[in-house]
Amino acid sequence: MSRPSLSPASAPLQVRGACPHDCPDTCALVSTVQDGRVLRVQGNPEHPATDGVLCAKVSRYPERVHHPQRLLQPLRRSGPKGSGRFEPVGWDEALGDIAARLGAIAARDPQAILPYSYAGTMGLVQGESMAARFFHRLGASRLDRTICAAAGGEALVQTLGGKLGMKVEFFAQARLILIWGSNSIASNLHFWRLAQQAKRDGARLVCIDPRRSETAEKCHEHLALRPGTDAALALALMHELIVHDWLDHDYIARHTLGWEALRERALGWSPERAAEVCGLDVAQIRRLARDYGTTSPAAIRLNYGMQRVRGGGNAARAIACLPALVGAWRHRAGGLLLSNSGRFPVDRAALQRPDLLGARAPRTINMSTIGDDLLRDASPDFGPRIEALMVYNSNPVAVAPESGKVVAGFAREDLFTVVLEQFQTDTADYADYLLPATTQMEHWDIHSAYGHTDVLLNRPAIAPQGQALPNTEIFRRLARRMGFTDACFDDSDEALCRMAFGGEVDYAQLLAQGFAPLPVPDAPFAEGGFPTPSGRCEFFSERLAVQGLDGLPDHLPNHEPAGTDARYPLAMISPPARNFLNSSFVNLRSLRDIEGEPLLEISAEDAAQRGIASGALVRVFNDRGSYHCRAEVSTRARPGVVHGLGIWWRKLGPRGTNVNELTSQKLTDLGRGPVFYDCLVEVQAS
């Protein structure tokens, strides 16, 4: 019975949740709902890391959840591939047809089916629980989820023994903070609040970033190095620590491995040599080394922006060696933080059930080379041609490198593509079936984090909108249609939340307050105890050496080093836009209005040489493609480097392209990650 329109509204209700986005801050949310609508989303003031504050993006969550263009019913393609034309279809018919199509392919070879997913939601349940079970049971190809953090993550594992680091709250007590490859104000806001607290208490802040970012301009010092030269800088800092004897010999002797070899390597990197490679002043490098060698406690906030180049893994390894050299780990406000995700005792075996594979060992496809792989024929090396793709929690047509090839792959008439989405993204346009997914306001989930060390629980605040279903439920129903009778396909979302951490996290506490801190020591490596094979901080990695790789960190020049191709003299990086999260939020009017339109920041010098005025439309191009956007002549760009900001939706940019038209599918030294910021281009007025 529908309610008479004049009846009094029900009282507003507050529901605790977690921000699902791929952001180090993993905020605790409090949503205010009334009559089935989300009125407000705020930061939970009781959660210390959130401190009652959200970023501009998630503060506007009601606009996202109740967006007029939310996908609210299953759709089936009704036009040519990629046309984005669909007709409504019932869930029953859609799932029946998808099961039949997948079943026929699987009968020949299930490895011809590929799941494609990333961090649209970071939730452990709506991320990879039921979905992973489904693909394991099916025996589908596996996906190597490399697109963001593979090089840096592997570097931490090889050097420190895991994705582990300082507790973020102690940055507030540091005396020196290096913000390295991170635009914290845009992408790690809650860390920036801690850094400001430290600054007010007298700490010095140094930013290491090719771009004069919002963060760089608020630090005491900014080292605007060339993209992909961080290892050279780190080695020169070591050089200075050695020659001035700013070393903690006791810490080195007791808690590190490979010191003599690293010492020799670093002595080859004078500040003069590094200055040449990095495009920095020698004096600036010397000053940074002095600051780092003589200020205690010194803390490094490393972020993934510096590892999206060929040598990104080695660079992250070199930087991760620094705290052990000066004994910074002895202090809780000293050391380094890239990610603490390794702290979380997630029971992936229970959630994802790899045992459902049995004796099968399907091939693995790297998500960063999806463009090439979709276009590949069957071969003994590669295995079967990819015949079906199931995309969820990701927008590969916009975010994967070398879009020209990605688009050509998705456009294959013989590819069967199912997309689970909240919105009709660039990827959704290529779907054969487009299935409506719930948002964080409409489903249960449980979250680990990578920028703090608390577990968060997300309760649904409102009912699923329209006919949308959680990812879990879509895979549950599909499993039934495929005839999978395993009991694990009956687990409810709440049951999955409870099993995510086994008994390691107090679920009652999560239910009561929405978050539960992990027991993490304040100064995790004060007494060494690195979880590497040697138990030491491994300057030299035997595990890398046995793979035939350099056991020591070194500077590896970019795949596309500036100055090596006269046709493409400019190095392009494409860091996130502050008001988008990767390609999420681009379709939110209020946030898109703040960002304006796709921009390329270029220095006055490079603009003048090309006759480009600020605000002019330009064509940015290389052998892989062309990207049309507006130039902004800006002091944020150093000569020789341009910045294509943010991952716009292709269809919302001029001429239907975005910056990934230009990026390459080459991979990093460690972790087989993408090299978004290792990319040469030329720019001309258009």
Ligand X SMILES: Nc1nc2c(c(=O)[nH]1)N[C@H]1C(S)=C(S)[C@@H](COP(=O)(O)OP(=O)(O)OC[C@H]3O[C@@H](n4cnc5c(=O)[nH]c(N)nc54)[C@H](O)[C@@H]3O)O[C@H]1N2
Q: Which residues bind Mo ion (CB under 5 A)?
A: 148
Radius of gyration of the chain (CA): 25
Tokens describing residue 552: 């020591």
Q: Does 121 bind ligand X (CB under 6 A)?
A: yes
Q: What mask, x for binding ligand X by CB under 6 A, covers residues 2 to 31?
A: --------------------xx--------
Q: Which is nearer to ligand X, 304 or 329 (CB)?
A: 304
Touching ligand X, residues 561-620 (CB under 6 A): 573-576, 578, 580-584
Q: Does 116 bind ligand X (CB under 6 A)?
A: no
Q: State in angstroms the smallest separation of the CB of 648 from ligand X.
A: 10
Q: State in angstroms the smallest separation of the CB of 39 from ligand SF4.
A: 17
Q: Does 668 bind ligand X (CB under 6 A)?
A: no
Tokens describing residue 41: 């989303």
Q: State in angstroms the smallest separation of the CB of 187 from Mo ion.
A: 9
Helix (H) or strand (E) run with residue 570 in it: strand 570-573
Tokens describing residue 29: 């949310």
Q: Does 677 bind ligand X (CB under 6 A)?
A: yes
Binds 399, which of Mo ion, ligand X, ligand SF4, none (CB < 5 to 8 A, cut-off by type)? ligand X
Helices 130-138 and 471-481 cross at an angle (nearest 10°) of 30
Tokens describing residue 353: 């059930």
Based on the number of CB atoms within 10 Å of its own CB, is 207 exposed (0-12), middle (13-18) or buried (19 or more)? Answer: buried
Q: Does 402 bind ligand X (CB under 6 A)?
A: no
Q: Which is nearer to ligand X, 256 or 341 (CB)?
A: 341
Binds 622, which of Mo ion, ligand X, ligand SF4, none (CB < 5 to 8 A, cut-off by type)? none
Binds 54, which of ligand X, ligand SF4, Mo ion, none (CB < 5 to 8 A, cut-off by type)? ligand SF4
Count, residues near ligand X per rule CB under 6 A: 57
Among 17, 74, 110, 120, binds ligand X (CB under 6 A): 120
**Quick check: 584 and 21 in contact, CB under 8 A?**
yes
580 residue type, one letter: F
Q: Does 187 bind ligand X (CB under 6 A)?
A: yes
Binds 574, which of Mo ion, ligand X, ligand SF4, none (CB < 5 to 8 A, cut-off by type)? ligand X
Q: Which is nearer to ligand X, 256 or 439 (CB)?
A: 439
Q: Which is nearer to ligand X, 156 or 306 (CB)?
A: 306
Q: Which is nearer to Mo ion, 148 or 224 (CB)?
A: 148
Among 126, 129, 424, 603, binds ligand X (CB under 6 A): 126
Binds 575, which of ligand X, ligand SF4, Mo ion, none (CB < 5 to 8 A, cut-off by type)? ligand X
Among 129, 303, 458, 472, binds ligand X (CB under 6 A): 303
Q: State in angstroms the smallest separation of the CB of 156 from ligand X.
A: 14
Q: What mask, x for binding ligand X by CB under 6 A, covers residues 499 to 518?
A: --------------------
Alpha helices by DSSP H, listed for 161-229, are 184-187, 189-200
Tokens describing residue 397: 């047509």
Distance CA 2, CA 4 (A): 6
Touching ligand X, residues 30-89 (CB under 6 A): none
Q: Does 316 bind ligand X (CB under 6 A)?
A: no
3-state SS, residue 642: strand
Q: What mask, x for binding ligand X by CB under 6 A, covers residues 242 to 281?
A: ----------------------------------------
Binds 425, which of Mo ion, ligand X, ligand SF4, none (CB < 5 to 8 A, cut-off by type)? ligand X
Residue nearest to Mo ion (CB): 148
- Residue with the two structure tokens 């050695």: 242
Distance CA 113, CA 446 (A): 28
Q: Which is nearer to ligand SF4, 193 or 263 (CB)?
A: 193
Binding residues vs ligand SF4 (CB under 6 A): 19, 21, 23, 25-27, 54-55, 57-58, 189, 581
* CA distance to 146, 225, 547, per residue, from 638 (Å): 29, 9, 38
Binds 663, which of ligand SF4, Mo ion, ligand X, none (CB < 5 to 8 A, cut-off by type)? ligand X
Binds 126, which of Mo ion, ligand SF4, ligand X, none (CB < 5 to 8 A, cut-off by type)? ligand X
Based on the number of CB atoms within 10 Å of its own CB, is 611 exposed (0-12), middle (13-18) or buried (19 or more)? Answer: exposed
Among 269, 392, 430, 649, binds ligand X (CB under 6 A): 392
Among 43, 161, 305, 464, binds ligand X (CB under 6 A): 305
Q: Does 410 bind ligand X (CB under 6 A)?
A: no
Quote the distance between the C-alpha of residue 641 and its chain's center: 23
Binds 403, which of ligand X, ligand SF4, Mo ion, none (CB < 5 to 8 A, cut-off by type)? none
Among 44, 660, 665, 668, binds ligand X (CB under 6 A): 660
**Quick check: 34 and 13 in contact, CB under 8 A?**
yes
Q: Where are the beta strands (DSSP E) in 202-330?
A: 204-208, 221-223, 256-257, 298-302
**Quick check: 686 and 617 in contact, CB under 8 A?**
yes
* CA distance to 16, 117, 615, per residue, from 597 (Å): 34, 27, 11
**Quick check: 674 and 146 in contact, CB under 8 A?**
yes
Q: Which is nearer to Mo ion, 33 or 367 (CB)?
A: 367
Q: Where are the beta strands (DSSP E) in 213-346?
A: 221-223, 256-257, 298-302, 335-337
Q: What are phi and psi of 115, to 5 degrees?
A: -80, 145
CB neighbour list of residue 440: distance below 8 Å, 6 or more residues apart: 17, 18, 19, 20, 121, 123, 458
Q: Which is nearer to ligand X, 51 or 109 (CB)?
A: 51
3-state SS, residue 285: helix
Q: How do 204-208 and 176-180 pair as beta strands?
A: parallel
Q: State in angstroms the smallest separation of the CB of 148 from Mo ion.
A: 3
Among 140, 186, 224, 370, binds ligand X (CB under 6 A): 186
End-to-end CA distance of the chain: 59
- Residue with the two structure tokens 């290389």: 622
Stretch that binds ligand X, among 31-39, 268-276, 297-305, 535-543 (CB under 6 A): 297-305
DSSP state at residue 449: -
* CA distance to 18, 26, 468, per residue, from 49 (Å): 12, 9, 32
Distance CA 448, CA 429 (A): 32
Q: Does 676 bind ligand X (CB under 6 A)?
A: yes
Distance CA 560, CA 677 (A): 10
Binds 42, which of ligand X, Mo ion, ligand SF4, none (CB < 5 to 8 A, cut-off by type)? none
**Quick check: 348 and 190 in contact, CB under 8 A?**
no
Q: What are phi and psi of 349, to 5 degrees?
A: -60, -40
**CB hemisphere CA count around 70 (13 angstroms):** 19
Binds 26, which of ligand SF4, ligand X, Mo ion, none (CB < 5 to 8 A, cut-off by type)? ligand SF4
Q: What are phi and psi of 121, to 5 degrees?
A: -125, 140
Q: Which residues bind ligand X (CB under 6 A)?
A: 22-23, 118-121, 126, 147-148, 180-183, 186-188, 208-211, 213, 227-228, 230, 303-306, 309, 392-395, 399, 420-423, 425, 437, 471, 573-576, 578, 580-584, 647, 659-660, 663, 676-677
